[in-house]
Structure 1
Amino acid sequence: MMRATVLGALVAAVLSVLLAGCNQDIAGQPKPPPQEPTATSVAYFCSMGLLEHGGPKGQAFRVGKSEPVWFSSVRDAVAFSMLPGEPQDVVAIYVNDMAKARNWDRPEAGAWVEAHDAWYAIGSDYNAGMGGKEAVPFSDEKAARSFTAAHGGTVMRFNEIPEKYILESDESDVAAEVSAGEATSPGPAVKQ
C-alpha cells in the first residue's frame, strides 16, 4: 500500500514537471500571423460557415497547426480560452480590430489584433454575429472608449473580461454586474 502511494506521488510529480515544461514550450513558440477567413472557414462551436455571420470574428492557433481554429464571434474566441475542456496548446488568438474596421458586418482584410493586446467594449448595444452579447475588440483604447460612449458598456482588457459575461446567457444580471464592478470607466468620446 505504501509503495503504491509513493509511486502515485512520483508519477504526479513527473507529470507536474512535464506539464510545466509544456507551458514554457508553448510560451516560447512563435506566433503565426493572422489569416483571412475564406468560404471554407468553419466556426468551431457551431460548425457553420464563418462568412455566414456578420460582426467581428476570432481565430486561434494551436502548437504545430498551420490552420487556425475559427470563431464566428469574439465572445466564442474568449470562451475557447476559458473553457477547461478546450485545448491548452494555443500560441496565439487574434480578433478583428474594430478600430481599423470600417464595416461591422465584414471587417476588412488585415483588421486583426492579438487578443491579449486588445481593449474590449463589454455590455454595449452591439450583438455578436449569431446574436447575443459581444466583446467588441479594439487595438486602440481611445477608440474603445469612444465606442462605449456612443454604444454603452465598459472597457476592459482580455484577462479582465468576466467569465460570467462570456459563458452565461442572462444579460440583465451580467450587465448589472459589469456596471457595478467596472475595471475602468468610460472616458469622453473621441472622434475617429
Structure 2
Amino acid sequence: MTRPILVSFLLATTLLAACKEERAQAPDPITMTSDALSHFCMMQVDNHPGPKAQIHLKGLPDPIFFAQMRDALAYVKGPERDADILAFYVSDMGAAPDWETPGIDNWIAAETAAFVVGADVTGGMGAPEIVPFSDPALAQDFAADKGGEVMSLEEIPAATVLAPVDIILNEEPPS
C-alpha cells in the first residue's frame, strides 16, 4: 500500500471510530423515581400529572427532569442552556396509564415523538401542556379530542414554550 493511501485509510478508520464513540455516549433513559426533582422548581416530578421529560447533559452523571413538557421544551429551545444535550426523552402518553400517572419507564426519544401543541390540557405545573406520543395516530386522536396540532420537535415554535402564560389552577385532568 502506498503511503498516501495508507494515511487516508488510517484517517478514515479513526473518523469512523470517533463517530461510533460519539453515538455511544448518548445514555439510555432512566426510571423516574420519587427522588426525581424538576429542574426549574425543584419539586418532586412524580407529584404532578401529565407528561414528563428527562434530559441528559454532557458532563453531568444524572439527567435533569422536568415536571411538565413545556418546561423541558423551554429549556431545550431557550438561550440559557450552557451544556450540550446528549439525550432528550419524553413520556409516551400513548403508553401512559392515564393523565395523572404518566408512567415511570415509558420514555421515547423526543426527536421521534409526535407532539400535540395547543390542546386544551394543562400540565403538572398548571400551564398549557404539549403532549408527546410515539404513535402519530394516537397523537392525531388526542388532537381531535382535545384540540391542537400534531408537530415534530423541530416544528414546535420557540415562542410557544418561551412566551409567558397564565397559570390555570384547579383544572380537571383530561379524560
TM above 0.5, yes or no, is yes
2:66 to 67, 71, 75: 71
Q: Counterpart in 2 of 1:8?
A: none
Q: Which runs of 4+ in 1 moved over 3 A?
A: 24-29
Q: Counterpart in 2 of 1:117?
A: 112
Distance in 2, Cα, partners of 1:140 & 1:98: 9
> Larger % of helix: which?
1
What amino acid is the match of 2:68? Answer: S
Q: TM-score, normalised by structure 2?
A: 0.78
Say whether residues 1:127 and 2:122 are aligned partners. yes
Greater shift in the superposed pair: 150-159 or 109-118 = 109-118
* SS of residue matched to 2:151: strand
What's the CA shift for 1:29?
A: 4.9
Q: Is the 8 A contact 2:50 2:102 kept in 1?
A: yes
Q: Is the 8 A contact 1:122 1:156 kept in 2?
A: yes
Q: Is the 8 A contact 2:78 2:158 kept in 1?
A: no
Distance 1:42 1:152, change over 3 A: same
Unaligned segments of structure 2, at least 5 residues: 1-18, 167-175
Distance 1:66 1:88, change over 3 A: closer
- Greater length-normalized contact order (CA 8 Å, ≥ 6 residues apart): 2
Identity of aligned residues (%): 36
Q: Is the 8 A contact 1:27 1:91 kept in 2?
A: no
Q: Counterpart in 2 of 1:162?
A: 157
Say whether residues 1:80 and 2:75 are aligned partners. yes
Distance in 1, Cα, partners of 2:111 & 2:21: 15
Distance in 2, Cα, partners of 1:25 & 1:85: 29
What's the CA shift for 1:87?
A: 2.5
Q: Counterpart in 1 of 2:32?
A: 37
What's the CA shift for 1:109?
A: 3.2
Q: Counterpart in 1 of 2:91?
A: 96
* SS of residue matched to 2:83: coil
Q: Is the 8 A contact 2:25 2:86 kept in 1?
A: yes
Q: Can you list the C-alpha shifts for 1:158-179, whole angstroms capped at 9, x where unaligned? A: 01101111011357xxxxxxxx
Distance in 1, Cα, partners of 2:163 & 2:22: 29
Count of aligned pairs: 148
Q: TM-score, normalised by structure 1?
A: 0.71
Q: Is the 8 A contact 1:77 1:93 kept in 2?
A: no
What's the CA shift for 1:44?
A: 0.5
What's the CA shift for 1:65?
A: 2.7
Q: Counterpart in 2 of 1:151?
A: 146
What's the CA shift for 1:25?
A: 10
Greater shift in the superposed pair: 57-66 or 159-168 = 57-66
What amino acid is the match of 1:85? Answer: E
Q: Counterpart in 2 of 1:137?
A: 132
